[in-house]
Structure 1
Amino acid sequence: MVQFDSQDPYEVIHRFKPIAEVPELTRETYVPRASTPLLDAMGHGITDLESGLSQLAEADRPARVVMVVVTDGQENASREFCKEQVEKMIKEKTEKDGWQFVFLSADLAAIRDAKAVGVAPVASLLYQKSGLGSKLAWASLAMRLSDYRSARLHSLMFLEEDRQHPDDPNKKKKNNKS
């Protein structure tokens, strides 16, 4: 788990820790600060995860890798990675290694940023900027991760029922013909 912002563009909070040992995220333990170096965080995240996995014994490496990006804003502060680099990295890890990339944001422009770097629209979720919106997004992510890990879904994707935000660009619009 990594926190990223312009104060610390890549702050590792937990590395390869069992989820049961990770404390609950609170306003004290995980605080959005300053600007959003989204591309830098994604680029460093991919290379860091790739390096960490390569150091594990073959038997200890996970069969499925999912990188989840959660942001409260769009890219506006990266200095090391550009869109094309991150897009190439995501494409390579998806096609060659079967990694799944998921994107959660309360910012519609950030959802567009995710699509621009190759995150599949079905794996992006826009949620409302509220406690309830965050709670629903995390609950949807937990359900879809469970579906993916148990092979009920062949790839990690959000379903229509997950798309609670009225402005979610991936939400199917109902045809209101009378």
Structure 2
Amino acid sequence: MEKQKVHNLIILDESGSMGSIKSEIISGFNETVQSIKGFQKKFPEQEHFISLVSFNSLSNQLLHFIDPVDKLNEINSELYRPNGGTPLFDAIGYAVNKLHYVVKNQENCNVLVTIMTDGEENSSREYSGAQIKALIEKLKEEKWTFTYIGTDHDVDKIALNLSISNTLIFKKNGEGIKNMFVKERQSRDVYYSKVQRNEDTKDDYFKDK
């Protein structure tokens, strides 16, 4: 029997303002990878892949792309170096379209997109907010789930403008980031359970079930 493919796409802000929480973000991402490895064992009928794109106004970094979770290496301070501005729309457009091109014809496939940023869009050149909203609305009908995790800006407003209903706000300090990653991992567990039961996963990602 073919396993259920689950693509975990993480779009991570690497702009200069993330520098103050760099070590906490690296640690949290690596813990998330370890937890996904554990979830793959918990749900053996699922096959998990991770794609990680970090972004700033200098470039998009494709750190992982459809890598099997059990073969994934951790990121470190050499790979994640915050600098520059926040081209949020361009990063979402780049990462989502790149993954969609590969998985669009795959059957038995779910995609979980996690967007993490500490600031509003300020430097995109290729995509507008309206274009990203339309893209997200289209893919939500194709078993894609989008989540938006943020701090230091109006998270709910920005996410709503992009048609993302799953939001999580965190405090920009060590304890706040730790709590955020704990909540995210708990929600991820519930999401994988829903995938297993073939339930709708578009909304209520951060709601306790």
Q: Does 1:6 align with 2:57?
A: yes
Q: Aligned pair 1:134/2:180, yes or no?
A: no
Higher relative contact order (CA 8 A, sep 6+): 2
Aligned to 1:170: none
From the two aligned structures, give the one with the greater strand fraction: 2
Partner residue of 1:21? 71
SS at match of 2:109: coil
Flag structure 2 segments of 5+ consecutive residues without an equivalent: 1-51
8 Å Cα contact 1:90-1:118 kept in structure 2: yes
In structure 2, what is the equivalent of residue 74 of structure 1? 120
Please report the TM-score for the alignment, with normalisation by the length of structure 2: 0.66
Aligned counterparts of 2:73 and 2:171: Cα–Cα separation in 1: 24
**How do residues 50-65 of structure 1 correspond to structure 2 at under 5 angstroms?**
50-54=100-104, 58=106, 63-65=109-111
Letter of the structure 1 residue corresponding to residue 112 of structure 2: V
TM-score by length of 1: 0.76
Aligned to 1:150: 193
Question: Contact (CA 8 Å) 1:71, 1:105: kept in 2 or not?
Answer: yes
Which one of 133, 136, 161 corresponds to residue 90 of structure 1? Answer: 136
Aligned pair count?
Answer: 153
- CA deviations 1:44-100 (Å, max 9, x no partner) are 121111012147xx4xx55211111111211001010001100000000002x0210
Shift of 1:128: 0.6
CA contact (8 A) 1:75 1:110 kept: no
Identity across matched positions, percent: 27
CA 1:62–1:137 in 2, change beyond 3 Å: closer, same or farther? Answer: farther
Which of 31, 34, 44 does residue 81 from structure 2 map onto? 31
What amino acid does structure 1 have at the position aligned with 2:143?
G
**CA–CA distance in structure 1, aligned partners of residues 157 and 76 of structure 2:** 27
What does residue 159 of structure 1 align with? Answer: 207
